[in-house]
Structure 1
Amino acid sequence: MSGLNEPPTSVPEPNSTSSSRRPPRPLLLLAVLACLLASIPLIYLLVRVGGSGLDDVVRVLGRPRVPRLLLNTVTLAAAVTASTVLLGVPTAFLLARARLRWRSLWVVLAALPLAVPSYLAAYGWLAAAPTLQGFWPSWFVLTLVSVPYVSLPVTAALRAGTSGLDDVARTLGRGPWRAFWLGTWPQVRPATLAGALLVCLYVLADFGGVALFRFPVLTTAIQQAYGASFNRNYAAILATVLVLLALLVVLGEQTARGRAQRQFGAVSGVATRRIVRLGRWSAPALLLLVAVPVLAVGVPVAELFVRLFEAETLRALDLANLGQALLNTLALSAGGAVIAVALALPIGALAARYRGRLVRSIESAGYLALGLPGIVVGLSLVFFSLSVVPALYQTAAVLAFAYGVLFMPKAIGAIRTSIGQVPTSLEDVARTLGYGRLQTWWLVTARLARPGIGAAALLVMVTAMKELPATLLLRPTGTDTLAVELWARTDVSAYGAAAPYAAALILVAAVPAFLLSGAGRARTDGTPA
C-alpha cells in the first residue's frame, strides 16, 4: 500500500542503476513527451491567467470574498492535516507494535475509509443529521476519510524499523514517551510527513464534502464561477491561487523532510521490533481502532441500508439508469487507468534504470500533477479543448485523459518500484541472445514487472471511480457516473434516491481497498494475527 500511495522516495533498488550509462533516446523522448502531456493543464492555466491581464488579477484578488475563501481553505487543510496525524500515528503504532488479536482484520478496517469519498461520507452524516453545515462537520468528515493516508504508510515504516533505540533510551532512564520520541519518531517522521502531505493536498482539492456541508472554500467558488456565469478569468485566477497553495505545501514538506534528515541523520539500531502489551490501555486502543472506520464507513452504510429499503426508494429505483451509471464508471475509470499507466511507464522505467540530473528533472515533472486538484485539471482541460481541439470538448477521451493526468503520480511510484526489482542481468542475457531493446523490454522487463504495473492500473481505476470535480466539468452530455448521480441527488437532499448509487459506489471501491490494504502481510513476528 505504501508503495502505491506515498510520494516518491529514494528507495534502494536491488539492481544497479547506472549514472554512467546514457538512457536510450527513444525512452528519453517518450518520458519527455509524457511529462509535456501531463503538464498541459498547468501550462494552459498559467497562459490563461497571464493573458487576463494584471488588472483582472488584482480585481479578482481584491474582492472581499476572496480573503475569506483563502482563510477557510487554509484553516480547513491545516486542521484536517493536524487531526489526521494525531489519529494516524497512534493507529499505526497499534497496528505495527501492539499485541493484537486478529491483526489482519484491524488492518483492513484501518484501510476501509479509502473506499469512501468525502461526499459519500458527508451524504451519510447529512442523511442522519440534515442540519449539519459549516467548518466543523467538514473538518470531521474529511478527517475520518483521510486518516488512512497517514496510518498506512506509518504502519509500513514501523514494520520496517527497529525498536532497539527505544530500548536503549529506556535503559538510560527515559520514560516510554521520551523513548519513542528519541528512538522511533526519527524512523517514522518521513512517512508521517509524506502522509500529511497527501492529506493536505487532498483537502485543498476536495469539493464534494465541503459543498454538501455548505462551507465556502476555493474549490466551491471555482465550481460556482464556472457553473453559474462561466466566468473563465475569475475561475482561472482562483484556480491558480489554489495551485500555488498546493505548491507551497509541497515545498513545506520537502523543507521539513530535509530538516528531519539533518537533525536526526541516518537511524540505525538493533534489528528488532519489541511488541507492546497494552494492559490497561487495551480499551482505549481498541476504541481508537474501531472509531474511525465506524464513523467514516459505518454511519454512511447504515444510512444507506435504511434509505435503500424504504418503499419510496424501491419504487423510484431506475435499474436501467443505475446499470448505465455503473458501466460508465467502470469504462471511464478503466480508460483513465490505461492513460495513466501509458504516461507513467516511460517515466517509471527511466527513473528505475538510470540516474542523473536530467532523469531526476523528468521524474519530478511527472509528479507535478500531485499538486493539481481535480477541479483545476477539469477547468484547464475545458479551456484547452475549447481553444485547441473543439472536437474533443465534452468527450469521454478528455475525461479519461483528466483521470490519467490526475492519478499518474500514483502509477509512477508503483511502476518505478516494480521495474527496479527486475534484475538487470536478465535483460543483459536477453540482449546477448540477440533480442533487441524492445523485445527485451516486452519479453523480460514488462513480464516480470507486470504485477506492479497491474497494481498501478488498479489503484488509478479505483481512485478515478470516486473523482467528482473533474467528472462534473468534463463528462460528455448525457453520460453520468455513479459519483455524478450520487452528487446530483445529495445536492438537493434527495437522500433516498441517492442510496442505490452510493451503495454501488461503496461496493465497487471496497474490494480494491481490501486488496491494497496489505492485510495478508499484516503479521508481525511473535504476535497473533
Structure 2
Amino acid sequence: MTSSVSDNAIPMARRRRRSGPSSWTFAIAVTIALFALLPLGFVIWATVATGPETAFKLIARPRVGALLVNTVALVLITVPLCALLAVALAFLTERTDMPGRRLWAWLCITPLAVPAFVHSYAWIGLWPGLNGLGAGVAISLAAYFPFLYLPVAAAFRLLDPALEDQAASLGLSPLAVFRRVVLPQLRLSLCGGSLLVGLHLLAEYGLYAMIRFDTFTTAIVEQFQSTYNGVAAHMLALVLVVCCFALIGLEVVLRGRSRYARLGSGVARVAGVMPLGRWRHAAMALPALTAVFALCIPAYTLTRWLVAGGAAIWRMDEIGLALSQTLIICLIGGVCTVLAALPVAWLVVRRPDRKNRIVESCYYLASSMPGVVVALALVAVTVRVALPLYQTVATITLAYVIMFLPRALVSLRTSIAQVPVELEQAAASLGRSPARALMATTVRLAAPGAAAGMALTSLGILNELTATQMLAPNGTRTLAMAFWALSSEIDYAAAAPYAVLMVVFSLPMTWLLHHQSRKIAGR
C-alpha cells in the first residue's frame, strides 16, 4: 500500500515540476508584454486625452496631408524596387553559374553594416544638392534591399527543383516556369521582407532628415525638439502608428493562407545551377552596379573625408569616450533584450498553446512601432508618472527591449527547439528546482542562439539614432549621436571616424547574419 502511494506521488511531483516553470514563466512573459505595449497604450491615451475635435483638427491639417503623401509615395515606390532588385540578385547568386556568386552574395548583405544615415551622408558628400523623393528612394534602395535579399535568397536555396522540372516538361517556357512556379513559392519571403523594409522606411529619421525629405518621423522629431512633447507630435505619432498597422494588415492580406510544402516520397533535392552561357560574365553587371551604389559610394566618401581631415580629426579622447559608451549601451541593451525574450521563447516552444502565442504576437506588435513613437511614449510616461526615470539607463534600455525583442526572440526560439525537453525533465527528477533545471539544461545549451540574438540586437542598437537622442542620459554621446551632431554642423570630415567605427563594428554581426542564412540550407 505504501509503495502504491509513493508510486503515485512521483508522477504528481513530476507534473508539478513541469507546470511550475510554465506558470511563473508565463507571468514574467505577460509582464514584459505589458511593458512592450506601453507605446501603443500611450498613443491611444494621447488620442483620447486630446479629444476628438482637437485631434481631428490636428490630423486634418494640410501639413499632415503632405507628410502622408511623402510617406506613402516613398513606401509604394521603394518597396517594389527593393523586391525586384532582391529577387534578381538572389536568382543570380543562388541559381546560376555567374562567376564569384559566393562573393557577390556576401556583398549583397554587407550594406547592412552601413547605417542608413551614413548612406545618406555618403551620397550628399558626392552630390550636395541631393534632396526630395527621388533621393530618398535611391538611398533607401541602396540601404534596405538586403532586408529583402536575405529571406528571398534563403527561399531560393530551399525550393524543390522537381516542381520546376515538371512544369518545364509540360511545355512551359523558362519565364513561364519562373512566373507560375517559382514566384508563388517566394511569396512568403517577399511579403515578410517587404514588411520589414516598409517598417524601416516609416521609422527612419536620419537618412531623410539629412536630405531634407519630410516624413512623419522627421516631423515628429522636429515637433518634439521645438515644442517638447506637444500635442501635435502625439497626433503625428497616431497617424504613423496607423500607417504601420495598415502596412502589417496589407502584408497579411497579400500573404494569404496558401501553404507551399512538398508532399510525396523522398526528400527535396538541391537545385542545380542554371548555365547562363554567353551572358555568364555580363550578369555580373547587376551585382557590381549594386555594390557601387551601396558600398563603393560610402567607402569612397568616408575615405575622402578621412584623407581631407588628416590626423586632426582623430580626437582619440572624444572618439574613445563615444566608443566605450556605445559598447556599454549595446552590451546592456543586448543582454536585457535576450533575457526579456527568453520566457516567451521557452513558452512558444515548450507550451505552444493559444495564450502563449498571443503573448508572442504582442512582442511583434510592439516592435512594429517606430523608435520615435516608442521614445515619445517613454518620455511622456516618465515625465508624468516616473520623473526620476527620465533620461536614465533604465528608460533607454526599455526602449531597446521594446524595439528589438523579435531579433532576440527568433534566435532563441530556434535554439530552444533544438534542446530535448527530456533534459529538463531529467534535471527536475534529480531534485533541482524548475528554475535551476531550466538554467542547467535549456538555457545553457541554447547559449549560441542567445549569443546570435544578442549580436543582432546590438547591431540594431549600434545604429539606432532617434530613440537614443530622445532618451539617452545627459552626457551620453554614442558613435551615432556624435556622428549626427558633427554632420548636422556640416563638419563631414570630423564625422567620418565615427561612421567608420560604426561600419567596422557592424561588419562581424552582418557576417553572422550571412552565416545563419546559409545554414538554413546547410551550405
TM-score of the aligned structures, taking structure 1 as reference length: 0.91
Match of 2:486 among 474, 486, 489: 489
Residue in structure 2 matched with residue 13 of structure 1 by the alignment: none
Offset from partner CA, 1:252-296 (integer Å, 9 cap, x none): 11121125x1xx654557723131112233244312222223311
Partner of 2:209: 211
- Aligned partner of 1:360 in structure 2 is 357
Report the counterpart of residue 5 of structure 2 in structure 1.
none
CA distance in 2, matches of 1:41, 1:65: 24
Q: Is the counterpart of residue 235 in structure 1 residue 233 in structure 2?
A: yes
The answer to whether the Cα contact below 8 Å between 1:187 and 1:267 also exists between their aligned partners in 2 is: no
Counterpart residue type for residue 151 of structure 2? P
Gaps of 5+ in 2: 1-17
Q: Distance in 2 between matches of 1:369 and 1:278?
A: 45
Question: Which SS does the other structure have where 2:187 is aligned?
Answer: helix
- Higher mean displacement: 221-230 or 487-496: 487-496
Give the superposition deviation at 1:22: 9.6
Task: Tell me what 2:63 maps to.
Answer: 65
Cα distance in 2 for partners of 1:240, 1:461 equals 28
1:175 aligns with 2:168: no
Bigger CA radius of gyration? 2
Q: What whole-Å deviation, never above 9, does each CA across 1:6-60 have from its counterpart, x for those lacking one?
A: xxxxxxxxxxxxxx98972101101101101111222123212211111221111
Aligned partner letter, 1:412: L
* Matched residue, 1:105: 103
Counterparts in 2 of 1:409 and 1:277: CA distance versus 1, 3 Å:
same
Cα 1:222–1:523, aligned 2, differ >3 Å: closer, same or farther?
closer
Distance 2:513 2:193 in 1: 16
Are residues 1:426 and 2:423 paired? Answer: yes
In 2, Cα distance between equivalents of 1:128 and 1:468: 23
Contact 1:49 1:233 in 2 (8 A): no
User: In the TM superposition, what is the alpha-carbon distance from 1:182 to its structure 2 partner?
Assistant: 2.5
- C-alpha change, 1:103 and 1:443, in structure 2 (3 Å) is farther
Select 2:370's aligned residue among 368, 373, 376: 373
**8 Å Cα contact 1:333-1:400 kept in structure 2:** no
Q: Which moved more, 1:140-149 or 1:422-431?
A: 422-431
Q: Distance in 1 between matches of 2:516 and 2:389?
A: 42
2:285 and 2:513 map into 1 onto residues whose CA distance is 24
Aligned residue number for residue 472 of structure 2: 475
Consecutive unaligned residues of structure 1, counting only runs of 5 or more, are 1-19
Corresponding letter in the other structure for 2:50: S
CA contact (8 A) 1:96 1:155 kept: yes
Question: Residue in 2 aligned with 1:451?
Answer: 448
Query: Do the aligned residues in 1 keep the contact of 2:106 with 2:514 (CA within 8 Å)?
Result: yes
- Quick check: 426-435 or 365-374, which moved more? 426-435
Q: How far off its partner does 1:313 sit? A: 4.8
Q: How much does 1:226 deviate?
A: 0.5
Alpha-carbon shift at residue 370 of structure 1 (Å): 3.0
- Indicate yes or no: 2:279 matched with 1:281: yes
Distance 1:227 1:377 in 2: 16
Letter in 1 for 2:428: R
The correspondence for 2:458, drawn from 441, 461, 474, is 461
Q: Deviations over 1:470-493 (max 9, x none)?
A: 111111222111111111122232
Identity rate, percent: 35
Look up the match of 1:12.
none
Dislocated runs of 4+, deviation >6 Å: 20-23, 522-525
Give the counterpart letter for 2:478 in structure 1: T
* Alignment coverage as a number of residue pairs: 503
Letter in 2 for 1:367: Y
Structure 2 residue matching 1:24: 3-state secondary structure: helix
- Identify which range, 396-405 or 101-110, moves more after superposition: 101-110
SS of the residue corresponding to residue 214 of structure 2 reads: coil
The match for 1:442 is 439
Q: Which amino acid aligns with 2:185?
A: Q
2: CA distance between counterparts of 1:280 and 1:135? 38
RCO greater where, 1 or 2, for CA within 8 Å and sep 6 or more?
Answer: 1
Q: Could you report, residue by residue, the CA deviation over 1:120-156 in whole angstroms, capped at 9, with x for unpaired residues?
A: 0000011111110111111111111111111111111
